[in-house]
Amino acid sequence: MLNVSNFINLPNDELYVVGGVILNKDELEKSKKYSTAKTLDFKWDYKDYEIYASHKYTKDKGGAQNHQYKELQDFIKSNRDSLLENTIFVAIADGEYYSTKDTKASMTKMQYLESLCTAKVIACNMDNLINKLDAVCNTKPKD
């Protein structure tokens, strides 16, 4: 993909994120205050930004799927006030599940995820990832 470099599909326990702070496994184990840290799935550079992503593919309805949806919500909420410079967090929500209605929010699940976002965090599916990154990277002043 144009402008994407240094793409890494991260092993399950390589990098963690909480509150907009990126931790490796050793840092996480040394610190007891990060009990809610989540693993990251991907890391890459895009233009002048570092991108960290959590990816969920959710097809059907049900308890485990609802848990994945909640994890993406927590990922967004936890990282939207990050102080890291030139860093964007991406909640990638793929699958039919995210086009269904969130009855509590009166909108689709994807729309709800998007409503939680800030300039530091975006929510999208793989199909519109680059468009979303372009929109943020081209309009957001560098930190």
Is 121 in a helix, a strand, or coil?
strand
Mean predicted lDDT score pLDDT of the chain: 89
CA distances (Å), origin 73, targets 18, 107, 111:
13, 15, 12
d(CA 133, CA 137): 6
CA distances (Å), origin 59, targets 97, 119, 133, 134:
5, 28, 24, 27
d(CA 83, CA 21): 8
Does the pLDDT value for residue 115 go beyond 60?
A: yes
Instruction: Say what the pLDDT of residue 35 is.
Output: 67
Whether the full predicted model's pTM is greater than 0.75, yes or no, is yes
82-100 confidence digits (pLDDT tens)? 999 999 999 999 999 999 9
22-50 confidence digits (pLDDT tens)? 988 888 888 766 667 888 999 999 999 99
